Amino acid sequence: MKKILQDLSFAETEELILSLGEKKFRAKQLYEGLTQGKKVSDITSLPKALKEKLLEEYEDETIRIKETFYSADGTEKYLFEFADGHLVEGVLMKYKYGYTQCVSTQVGCRMGCKFCASTLNGLIRNLSAGEILAQILAVNALHKADVKSGAGESGRAVTNVVLMGSGEPLDNYDQVVKFLRNLTAPEGLCISARNVSLSTCGLVPKMYALADEGLPVNLTVSLHATDDETRKKVMPVAKAYKIEEILKACRYFFEKTGRRYYFEYTLIDGENCDETHAKALVELLKGKPCHVNLIRLNEVKERELKTVSDKNAYRFLGVLEKGGLSATLRRQIGVDIGGACGQLRADYLNGENND
């Protein structure tokens, strides 16, 4: 596999172009073409000789959408294939304010969370910054016509990004941070860091490091329990980092960025969703600058965990709201197309979607 041009910042692209003996303005042409989701060979503003030089060392096509699945609610799910043949998935969610894309940061995952399909086959490899970005560039190119109809702005359909697909973002720290810097750079897509949400299972040292990066993204922590012993049952990472340590890291993030933080709490039948758990969550988080996103479990057939009824989900939400917590119950989307992380890739690898 060759190197990937989307890994480069604009300044690095300029350095590359100059090293090839070309004029600096060619860097802008190249960067703009890549940002539009084009293959190197399809950037018509570049001379043929320059493209041939670039393709000696760099991939022509970093990513392609192998398959697309459409939900009745408008959600779209993609199976992406990289130049080396590895697969990840992504989701596009359409809202009135714009399009939100969920991207993957790793091929597979090694965190072992019991409710997630991404971790079924372990971690295969990390994605590079350019491979993460390329997922968004591909979807922008697919929906470029929507920009004219008001779905996007500044030449992009995707206006919000969530790092909640396959993989643990903070387990691929350096590449994820580079991706965030390239994503928010004015020369590229220029998406505000405030429109980016990063979800972590709670890798405490990396949470502190992220707080010091000067990137005011929305930090979301997968909590799913109110005590360490219960959390260990579904999240192996809880054996390394206690909830108390996670809360201290969240407080540090708030102090450094001024951004409130978020907790994801997946409601699992018989595990963490009765009134006692709800009251314990209130006691744990009350008074903190945070918001709780309740999630009905999206069942994974390889696991035995079961979701809760809508009635019980709203009852749990009611206890949180009565207790003074800022909380919402996440709308279920994409259920009919395997909306949960890793489901589509797992099905494809098992031969269920590649007849």
* CB-based contact 231:111 (threshold 8 Å): no
pLDDT in tens, 145-157: 887 555 554 567 9
Residue 81 annotated in active site: no
Map out the domains of the chain as residue ranges: 5-57, 63-349
Q: Please, which pLDDT band fits residue 355 given cuts at 50, 70 and 90?
A: very low
Return the minimum-mean-pLDDT range out of 37-46, 119-128, 198-207, 237-246: 119-128
Distances (CA, A) of 141 to 32, 156, 237, 239, 319: 12, 8, 37, 42, 44
- The per-residue DSSP string of 323-339 comes to TT--EEEPPP-SGGGT-
Supply φ then ψ for residue 215, to 5 degrees: -115, 100
Distances (CA, A) of 85 to 7, 65, 81: 18, 12, 6
Residue percentage of the chain with pLDDT more than 90: 78
Architecture of domain 63-349: Alpha-Beta Barrel (3.20)
Q: Identify the active-site residue in 14, 76, 89, 271.
A: 89
pLDDT in tens, 162-218: 999 999 999 999 999 999 999 999 999 999 999 999 999 999 999 999 999 999 999
Architecture of domain 5-57: Orthogonal Bundle (1.10)
First to last CA, the chain: 27
* CB-based contact 231:238 (threshold 8 Å): yes
Q: How far apart are CA 100 and CA 79, in angstroms?
A: 17
User: Which positions ≥6 away from 285 have C-beta within 8 Å?
Assistant: 263, 292, 325
Q: Identify the active-site residue in 102, 113, 250, 341.
A: 341
Mean pLDDT over the full length of the chain: 91
pTM of the prediction?
Answer: 0.92
Residue 89 annotated in active site: yes
User: In this predicted structure, what is the pLDDT of residue 149?
Assistant: 54
User: What H or E segment, with its residue span, contains residue 90?
Assistant: strand 87-95
pLDDT in tens, 323-343: 999 999 987 665 666 655 555
